[in-house]
Chain A
Amino acid sequence: MITMTKDTMQIVREQDVVPFRNRVRELSTKIGMSLVNQTKLITAASELVRNMLKYANGGKIILEIISKNGQTGVRLTFVDEGPGIENIPQAMQDGFSTGRSLGLGLPGAKRLVNEFDIKSKVGSGTTVTVTHWKNGR
């Protein structure tokens, strides 16, 4: 796997969400992703960035265009230093939320993208990595 471009965005306030989403849109347009796949990725990104703001007061996002086996895709890595998630399988269940929301953010984001990975350590933070390929497969 090769990283073609890489940059980082800091998220500290709710106002940072829109520029971030636009940046994701830019990257996915650049590699020629279809509108449906763009929207899926952007929505997943939006869920994850909101989680980051709500539970960890923000964090850092690494945006990359990657290439693997002749496929191009966008990979987003959400790194926060928040309280961490105690029970990941529970957090990945539909309808589970500690914050009075619909509880669809994490499981929904997982369904929207091709690859999804979550690592968390209680007390030191959470890292979520999502990858979506150009053709959505």
Chain B
Amino acid sequence: MNPTAQLLKKKKKAILENWMQNQLADESLREDLISNDDLRRQSEELLNGLLSAIEKGNFDDIYANEFEQVTDILSDISVTRARQGFTPCETTLYVLSLKIALTDVLEKERRDQPELLYKEVLQINRLLDSLSILTFETYLRGREEVILRQTDEINEISTPVIRVWDGILALPIIGTLDSSRTQVVMENLLQEIVNTGSSIAILDISGVPAVDSLVAQHLIKTVSATRLMGAECIISGIRAEIAQTIVHLGIDLSNVKTKATLASALLLAFNMLALEVKPKKTTVNTNRIIK
């Protein structure tokens, strides 16, 4: 067994106590997030794993087999800590405080052998640095996964095609229209026109924050494609400031039917289909008035 590992193993209790004290004395201790008992259990588990991993004198390669348990525990800790609401700083400090505990013990034991002490402290330093980088990486990976999942979710919910009436489809566009989204919007819309046999499609751009020439070009393309399918396209949700901007930009939307609100677009669609919406005459109301 490696002499350093042997010494550290012998002094395990002292190291754990020292480490716990360091952690408990730290101002950033988050008793609100993790109880002291849990912290002690977690720390002891990690220390045990670490001490058995370095038995053969491997202080450099944390991706070797004997470190599997340690890296597993650490990944687990940083993922749960990310979820519990620890900051990345607090999570990394947890590992770095173990370094202090380990070097403290070495310092006491090897007081009369400075050369050996220096070598050992360097080794411990390197090892614990690699481990804290690993912790940080895992923490970030956890965050990255959350972001990727959210991106997927946004992409999925972003382009619903709604059948508002027999023969009338509505497509509320929310957010920025870029090329890839236009592609999805167009595909969904054209497919839905085929599926439902609709003859009118309303594109509502109330939720599009800025209409620049690229967005306009995408809209015009969508309108043209819809026309080729034999359906008519109405663009609604053009706000006052957007209308002014489009005019200044010089975009020609004169051969596209546009409306300010979805309601007026729907009314236009009803007219085009020769449908009529009338207030209902009810007997209940008249009765009430008589009383």
Contacts and interface: CB of A to CB of B under 8 A. Distances in A.
Interface of A: 14, 17-18, 21, 35-36, 38-40, 42-43, 46-47, 50, 94, 101-102, 104-105, 107-109, 111-112
B213 A21 contact: no
Interface in B219-273: 240-242, 244-245, 248-251
Contacts of B178: 14
Contact of A108 (B176, B240, B241, B250): B250
B211 A43 contact: yes
Contact of A111 (B212, B240, B250): B250
Nearest to A94: B250
B251 A102 contact: yes
A104 B29 CA distance: 58
B239 to A, nearest CB: 8
A134 to B, nearest CB: 16
B85 interface: no
B259 to A, nearest CB: 19
16 contacts: A21-B210, A35-B241, A36-B241, A39-B210, A39-B244, A39-B245, A42-B209, A43-B211, A43-B212, A43-B245, A46-B212, A101-B214, A104-B213, A105-B212, A108-B251, A111-B249
Given A39-B242, A105-B213, A108-B212, 15 more contacts: A18-B176, A21-B209, A36-B240, A36-B245, A39-B210, A39-B241, A43-B212, A43-B245, A43-B249, A47-B213, A47-B214, A102-B216, A108-B248, A108-B251, A112-B249
B217 interface: yes
B248 A111 contact: yes
Interface string B91-124: 0000000000000000000000000000000000
Contacts of A107: 250
B241 A101 contact: no
Contacts, number: 64
Report whether over half of chain B's contact residues are helix, strand or loop; otherwise say mixed: helix
Contacts of A104: 213, 249-251
A122 B214 CA distance: 25
A105 B251 CA distance: 10
A36 B241 CA distance: 5
Given A104-B251, A111-B250, A47 B212 contact: yes
- The 8 A-B pairs with the shortest beta carbon distances in the complex, nearest first, are A108-B249, A39-B241, A104-B213, A46-B212, A36-B241, A111-B248, A43-B245, A102-B213
Contacts of A38: 241
A94 B247 CA distance: 13
A50 B212 CA distance: 10
Nearest to A40: B245
Contact of A42 (B210, B249, B251): B210
A101 B249 CA distance: 14
A88 B204 CA distance: 36
Nearest to B212: A46
Nearest to B247: A111
B217 A102 contact: yes
A42 B242 CA distance: 11
Contacts of A35: 241
A35 B241 CA distance: 7
